[in-house]
């Protein structure tokens, strides 16, 4: 049985085709020719972020696609002064941005080169920014597949996560594009296989940097409604036949009206099926709004508050806790420096580097109602052989790198952000994400360059800074100087390999998180629930 979410859109598309056919048949040959896509077809290229996240330059594009970097001036001449999808204008050959559409000389060849109607429209979801394009009935939100900062081809889950806020909605994107011929002549038949330069129509609620709005660029119509040849004086019979075939205005109105009713019914069917489908399945996680399992979070929060109360009772300085390990019926705290003796119910090990307590004692011991700010950056990274493992990211005092396949990295990052912002002991930190190809949690700020957040890094409250790729040498020096100040309260995470990182962790596709200083843990075994009221 065909999948309902694919069958109903097909019915709706058929109804649309009927409406278009009626309109073309009754509007005359001029309108038919206009609808059949007589817009100028050109050779063009959509600027992509480079393999390491750096921007492309006209010289590079000319070298790769024209075989001679010195021909960049031809590309500049073809595009100078033309408004780009993000509303900017190309005025400097040394400054182009990812997502810009560049007309190329006809002899351009290579990966990413497309031939078709030049994409138009805005990159945002804001209706005002879409301008006159929104009045075009063929205008839809769409995205051109590019590469991740690591050089990998983007995939549907990543696109859904970026523009719909939920990677689990990728089947909707597949349903909208399945079977449609792409600019390179390929056809989307497998949700796991997309190519750089392919154009994906997105659901109407899509939003985010890189989104475009306008008629779908493509190879042009290969089949469908074509305008009848215009009758001329040389063929009076054809002219008479063409005239006789034009329906009366009332018939045109009736047919178009009937088509509109059918279209509305089909759309309503699509919406109903989507709602039923979503109601019949578990709501997909959005880890940016989640925290770890409430029972585990309560247990850890209770233990930390017992620690606060015990130190205050015995007049001891609160130790720096760099890690928390749940080991069967016992909780162990890893300390930043040795401390002994430990206040009851905690007991110090021989070297004073760890304090342990039975979980049963922690549940019944007095707990403090004071601030848990000293533990605000404590994050569950996964479950090891003996139990849950938490690490204080603030203890890194340097950049933390997260390497591995893109999908695995993003899943781990979402969990970390959920922990940093949603644990009972968290302090609601500011989250700033810099660069392209990152998840799009609603609570985070998204900036194109680290320089935009530098003036605010010295704030007393601190926060979480996520970089899509390794910082430059100058940025490394800037961050090193900040981390040298003990008052610096930011956690800095770099996605991808970064040899200079203080902590280097690697996520695997099969759910493991590995490092050189912690036991291997299963990040995929953490459970999560929504916060109350969300």
Structure tokens at 467: 């970089």
- Measure the CA–CA gap between 57 and 72, rounded to whole angstroms: 9
Structure tokens at 342: 């430990």
**In this predicted model, what pLDDT tens digit does every residue of 240-296 receive, in sequence order?**
343 344 444 444 444 444 444 444 444 444 333 333 333 333 333 333 333 344 557
- Measure the CA–CA gap between 79 and 73, rounded to whole angstroms: 10
Placement of tokens 């781990």 in the chain: 412
Placement of tokens 């001029």 in the chain: 30
Buried b (16+ CB within 10 A) or exposed e, 82-93: eebbbeeebeeb
- Measure the CA–CA gap between 292 and 266, rounded to whole angstroms: 41
Q: What is the DSSP letter of 472?
A: P
Domain 290-530 top-level CATH class: alpha beta
Q: Which of 81, 87, 79, 82 is nearest to 130 (CA)?
A: 87
Instruction: Give the three-class secondary structure for 187.
Output: strand
**Cβ atoms < 10 Å from Cβ of 13:** 12
Give the Å distances, CA to CA, from 357 to 78, 325, 334, 364, 481.
Answer: 71, 11, 12, 12, 38
- Measure the CA–CA gap between 333 and 348, rounded to whole angstroms: 9
Buried b (16+ CB within 10 A) or exposed e, 31-51: ebeebeeeeeeebbbbbbbbe
Contacts of 499 (CB under 8 A, 6+ apart): none
Contacts of 480 (CB under 8 A, 6+ apart): 398
Q: What is the DSSP letter of 330?
A: E
Placement of tokens 């190879």 in the chain: 219
The domains of the chain are located at 29-218+236-245, 290-530
Asked if 377 and 363 touch (Cβ cutoff 8 Å), the reply is: no
Q: Residue 342 pairs with which residues in a beta bridge? A: none
Asked if 325 and 334 touch (Cβ cutoff 8 Å), the reply is: yes
Residue 50 phi/psi, 5-degree rounding, is -70, 170
**In this predicted model, what pLDDT tens digit does every residue of 254-268 receive, in sequence order?**
444 444 444 444 444
Q: What is the DSSP letter of 396?
A: G
Structure tokens at 516: 């050189």
Q: What is the DSSP letter of 345?
A: T
Report pLDDT for 149. Answer: 62
Report pLDDT for 360. Answer: 84
Quote the Cα angle for 144-145-146, to 5°. Answer: 115
Instruction: Give the three-class secondary structure for 167.
Output: helix
The reported pTM is: 0.48
Report pLDDT for 272. Answer: 37
SS3 string, 116-162, reads: EECCCCCCCCCHHHHHHHHHCCCCEEEEECCECCCCCECCHHHHHHH
- Measure the CA–CA gap between 286 and 359, rounded to whole angstroms: 31
Report pLDDT for 176. Answer: 92
Buried b (16+ CB within 10 A) or exposed e, 397-410: eebbbbbbebbbbb
For the chain, list residues with pLDDT below 50: 1-38, 51-53, 121-135, 220-293, 527-534
């Amino acid at each position: 049985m065909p999948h309902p979410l694919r069958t109903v859109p097909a019915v709706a598309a058929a109804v649309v085709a009927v409406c278009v056919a009626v309109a073309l048949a009754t509007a005359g040959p001029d309108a038919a020719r206009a609808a059949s896509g007589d817009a100028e077809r050109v050779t063009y290229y959509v600027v992509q972020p480079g393999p390491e996240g750096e921007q492309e330059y006209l010289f590079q594009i000319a070298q790769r696609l024209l075989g001679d970097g010195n021909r960049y001036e031809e590309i500049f001449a073809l595009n100078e002064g033309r408004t780009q999808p993000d509303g900017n204008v190309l005025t400097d050959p040394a400054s182009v941005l990812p997502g810009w559409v560049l007309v190329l000389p006809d002899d351009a060849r290579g990966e990413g080169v497309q031939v078709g109607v030049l994409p138009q429209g805005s990159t945002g979801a804001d209706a005002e920014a879409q301008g006159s394009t929104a009045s075009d009935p063929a205008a839809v939100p769409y995205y051109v597949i590019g590469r991740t900062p690591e050089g990998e081809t983007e995939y549907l889950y990543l696109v859904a996560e970026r523009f719909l806020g939920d990677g689990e909605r990728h089947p909707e994107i597949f349903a909208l594009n399945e079977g449609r011929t792409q600019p390179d002549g390929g056809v989307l038949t497998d949700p796991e296989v997309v190519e750089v330069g392919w154009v994906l129509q997105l659901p109407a609620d899509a939003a985010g940097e890189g989104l475009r709005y306008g008629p779908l660029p493509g190879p042009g119509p290969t089949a469908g409604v074509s305008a009848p040849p215009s009758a001329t004086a040389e063929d009076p019979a054809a002219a008479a036949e063409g005239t006789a075939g034009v329906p009366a205005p009332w018939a045109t109105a009736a047919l178009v009206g009937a088509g509109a009713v059918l279209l509305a019914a089909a759309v309503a069917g699509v919406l109903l099926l989507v709602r039923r489908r979503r109601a019949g399945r578990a709501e997909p996680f959005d880890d940016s709004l989640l925290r770890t399992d409430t029972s585990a979070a309560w247990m850890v929060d209770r233990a930390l508050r017992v620690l606060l109360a015990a130190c205050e009772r015995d007049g001891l300085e609160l130790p720096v806790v760099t890690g928390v390990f749940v080991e069967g019926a016992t909780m162990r705290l890893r300390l930043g420096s040795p401390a002994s003796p430990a206040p009851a119910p905690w007991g110090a090990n021989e070297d004073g580097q760890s304090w342990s307590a039975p979980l049963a004692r922690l549940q019944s011991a007095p707990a403090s109602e004071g601030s848990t700010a000293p533990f605000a950056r404590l994050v569950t990274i996964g479950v090891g052989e003996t139990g849950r493992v938490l690490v204080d990211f603030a203890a890194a005092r340097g950049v933390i790198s997260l390497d591995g396949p893109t999908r695995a990295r993003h899943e781990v990052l979402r969990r970390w952000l959920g922990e940093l912002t949603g644990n009972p002991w968290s302090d609601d930190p500011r989250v700033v994400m810099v660069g392209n190809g990152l998840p799009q949690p609603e609570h985070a700020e998204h900036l194109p360059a680290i320089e935009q957040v530098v003036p605010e890094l010295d704030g007393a409250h601190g926060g979480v800074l996520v970089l899509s790729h390794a910082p430059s040498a100058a940025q490394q020096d800037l961050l090193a100087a900040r981390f040298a100040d003990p008052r610096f309260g930011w956690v800095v995470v770099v996605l991808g390999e970064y040899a200079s990182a203080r902590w280097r962790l690697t996520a695997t596709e099969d759910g493991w998180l590995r490092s050189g200083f912690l036991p291997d843990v299963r990040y995929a075994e953490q459970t999560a629930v929504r916060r109350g009221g969300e």
